[in-house]
Structure 1
Amino acid sequence: MMDEVDLSTQLRIVSESTTAQKILDILEANLARIGATHILITGLPMPNRPIDSLVHRYRWPDTRNGSTESPVLHASDSALMLGLASNRATVWTVTAGDMDHSRLLAAVGEGSQILIVPVTELHPLQAFVFCAGPKLKTGKYELAALELLTDAAFTRLQDIGALSSQRPGALSSRERKVLELTAFGKTASEIAELLDISQRTVHAHLQNASVKLNASNKTHTVVEALRYGQIRV
């Protein structure tokens, strides 16, 4: 467990690091210190988009057969969706039912704990640290320290240009604005007036956003935009 002085030192080293490898090494080492045997550090793609280019570290051996290889990672894996459930570090105990829908959870086995640490400093980009192990140390201090270190690491990665500023499939700034106003209950007519565009253009932005978010209606589009960090209300 890191003490307060050690955490301060780690944060300073991260803030002064100039390579992505060193930043990720520090983050990975601290995950190992709390008992992580499986580690995934990644950005999260938009719906129906590949994840490969967003993955920074992926060490996820399949404990069921003793393999050191990581299973093929798919953006649709239900374990990744756990990261959308909270903006704070969350601990999940893997059940047999979870394993039926996730290669990641199946690889760590029933009864293992998975820790999800969301990155909160990259809006509208999204990134997460996932780690798992049979004996993770997940006390309040460990979780708070990892939240600070994870945010610092990704902020520094962004500062040194190691993160892409583009998220494939992300909403445009105008699409986000239209959805934000929709979330506040504005009608198409009111949005058109506020943004000095036509109602037809408002509907076009809503339709484009719906397609990008794989949403079935306007309400669903707003909900998915919130889940995927594209808008804030």
Structure 2
Amino acid sequence: MNDTMDIEAKVKAIAEARAAKPVLDIVESFLRRLGASHILITGLPMPNRTIDSLVHRFRWPDERNGGIERSTLASNDPALMLGLSGNRPTIRSVSPSEIAHSELFGAIGEGARVMVVPVDALRPFQAMVMGAGRQLSTEPYDLAALEIVSSAAFRRLFELGVISDQRPGDLSTRERRVLELTALGKTAHEIAEDLQISQRTVHAHLQNASAKLNASNKTHTVVEALRYGQIKI
């Protein structure tokens, strides 16, 4: 009961916050309580887009550099893909391969664990809360509670005007609709008839979507559109 009341208090405090800082402080303090020494609260960029304007809290000491906090975050860091790989919070150990290929995980080093909470409360906008460290430890309830708090935090940031529910590079409404119909097996001819546009326009929408998603073919475009929350089927 006390744990439930604690989560309710956090959500209430977030809803009553008048600025971004107290909202982010609540999420960070939760992560710290679970043993996280490294904190990242950020929106996730579309392919080939920068992440700078989407980052809200970045507390990431680099253990290779005397614990000095990193000041930059690369939008193509493989660690960010964990926020796109599922819709449920997870916690696990960081693998040697991830340490070798990710600057974020490389900054923590061996023996670290990572907790990732995807946030899609503002679809198609996507975000993630990540906590990492050698002392990270959670119970199943903690992950569920953090998911509730993280979603409440991003909704409040949106209400405060701190973030938009759109990202640079998002597909247009028509591009999304064409891809949704493509995912359902419709041909270009059928899509053109359904939307009352020409087949040439259908192909143009598919090409534009493919370019935005950095996809190599029609199937890949649909897969990436699903991954980046652009369409639902």
Q: TM-score range by the shorter chain?
A: over 0.9
Is the CA contact (8 Å cut-off) linking 1:43 and 1:55 kept in structure 2? yes
Q: How does 1:110-125 map to 2 (within 5 A)?
A: 110-125=110-125
Give every structure 1 segment of 4 or more consecutive aligned residues whose post-TM-superposition deviation is greater than 3 Å: none
What is the CA–CA distance in structure 2 between the aligned matches of 1:119 and 1:165, rounded to whole Å?
12
**Deviation string, structure 1 residues 137-175 (Cα, Å, up to 9, x no partner):** 221010000000000111111112111233011100110
> Could you tell me how far 1:32 is from its partner in structure 2?
0.7
Task: Output the amino acid matched with 1:176.
Answer: R
Q: Counterpart of 2:34?
A: 34
Task: Output the amino acid matched with 1:138.
Answer: T
What is the CA–CA distance in structure 2 between the aligned matches of 1:71 and 1:116, rounded to whole Å?
21
SS in 1 for 2:152: helix
Report the RMSD for the aligned CA atoms in angstroms: 1.1
Is the CA contact (8 Å cut-off) linking 2:122 and 2:165 kept in structure 1? no
SS in 1 for 2:68: coil
Is the CA contact (8 Å cut-off) linking 1:18 and 1:160 kept in structure 2? yes
SS in 2 for 1:36: coil
SS in 2 for 1:85: coil
What is the CA–CA distance in structure 1 between the aligned matches of 2:159 and 2:178, rounded to whole Å?
29
**Deviation string, structure 1 residues 42-81 (Cα, Å, up to 9, x no partner):** 0011111100010000010111332322163111100001
Q: Counterpart of 1:21?
A: 21
Is the CA contact (8 Å cut-off) linking 1:99 and 1:106 kept in structure 2? yes
Asked if residue 151 in structure 1 is aligned to residue 159 in structure 2, the reply is: no
Q: What is the percentage of aligned positions where both structures have the same residue?
A: 61
Structure-1-length-normalised TM-score: 0.97
Q: Counterpart of 1:70?
A: 70
What is the CA–CA distance in structure 2 between the aligned matches of 1:228 and 1:149, rounded to whole Å?
22
SS in 1 for 2:128: strand
**Alignment size in residue pairs:** 232
**Deviation string, structure 1 residues 182-233 (Cα, Å, up to 9, x no partner):** 1111111111111111110000000000000000000000000000111111
